[in-house]
Amino acid sequence: MGKNEYKAEWEELAQVKKELAERDWFMGTSGNLAIRVSSSPASFLVTASGKDKRKQTDEDFLLVDENGEAMEETNLRPSAETLLHSRVFRNSQAGCSLHVHTVPNNVVSELYGDRGEITFRNQELIKAFDKWEEDASLIIPIIHNHAHIPRLTEEFSVYATEEKGAVLIRNHGITVWGRNAFEAKKLLEACEFLFQYHISLLSLKNISQTI
């Protein structure tokens, strides 16, 4: 497959990468992004490993197959966490999968890590996940940060069954996916809003208890 055949997907992912970089969500070369190019068998573009994702270059992404193996001759290495994206594309119809490390997502993952999940309710932004009922809740699972990526992928894949979703990896980051790039970015932004709000509220409550 030539570069021209996935130009549209490349440009779409490059735009998402640029916008997430503007939010400063790629600290210390962290984070990786993927967008589907084909279905059955799945292939997708994924960020090259170890790069500063705030920079935009012609070598930002490479095409990989559903096992995360490069499909073209390249010196680039696929993201170390490619298998997670691969599982999203194999298990569901999702079109885009995004992974970022932020201070709020790490703090929430540590605060609720022992419970294995965090629940949000009475929050307008859970509607981003199609939670429209007044008493609806959004549960985001939190998994252990296994250093062994196949093991991490196994634990992660239990939750990667629907075409959209989010999983926190404890003291590591979050992976969010959706039907397309627009939806995946929307869901990621909604999660980060909920995390920031939650931490701010907890901090203010703690301060107000001391005065």
Ligand X SMILES: CSCCC(=O)C(=O)COP(=O)(O)O
Binding residues for Zn(2+) are 99, 101
How far apart are CB 48 and ligand X at their closest, in Å? 7
Instruction: Report how many residues bind Zn ion under the rule CB under 5 A.
Output: 1
Token pair in block for residue 187: 């869901």
| 81 near ligand X, rule: CB under 6 A | yes
Strand partners, 178: 96
- Residue 172 or 198: the one with the smaller Cβ distance to ligand X is 172
Q: Which of 38, 49, 157, 180 binds ligand X (CB under 6 A)?
A: 49
Q: Which of 79, 91, 105, 153 binds ligand X (CB under 6 A)?
A: 79
How far apart are CB 47 and ligand X at their closest, in Å? 6
Reference 122, options 136, 105, 108; nearest CA is 136
Residue 36 site contact among Zn ion, ligand X, none (CB < 5 to 8 Å, cut-off depends on kind): none
Instruction: Report how many residues bind ligand X under the rule CB under 6 A.
Output: 12
How far apart are CB 84 and ligand X at their closest, in Å? 10
| 57 near ligand X, rule: CB under 6 A | no
How far apart are CB 62 and ligand X at their closest, in Å? 12
| 68 near ligand X, rule: CB under 6 A | no
How far apart are CB 29 and ligand X at their closest, in Å? 5
In whole angstroms, give the CA distance from residue 128 to residue 126. 5
8 Å CB contact between 153 and 66: no
| 150 near ligand X, rule: CB under 6 A | no
Residue 80 site contact among Zn ion, ligand X, none (CB < 5 to 8 Å, cut-off depends on kind): ligand X
Q: Catalogue the long-range contacts made by 16-21 (C-beta closer than 8 Å, 24 or more residues apart).
A: 16/96, 16/98, 16/181, 16/184, 16/185, 17/47, 17/53, 17/56, 17/60, 18/56, 19/185, 20/53, 20/98, 20/100, 20/185, 20/188, 21/53, 21/54
| 109 near ligand X, rule: CB under 6 A | no
Residue with tokens 């969010």: 176
- What is 36-86 written as a DSSP string? EEETTTTEEEEEBTT--TTS--TTSEEEEETTS-BSS--SPPB-TTHHHHH
Q: Which of 2, 4, 22, 28 binds ligand X (CB under 6 A)?
A: 28
**Would strands 137-143 and 117-121 be described as parallel, antiparallel, or unpaired?**
antiparallel
Q: Which residues bind ligand X (CB under 6 A)?
A: 28-32, 47, 49-50, 79-81, 99
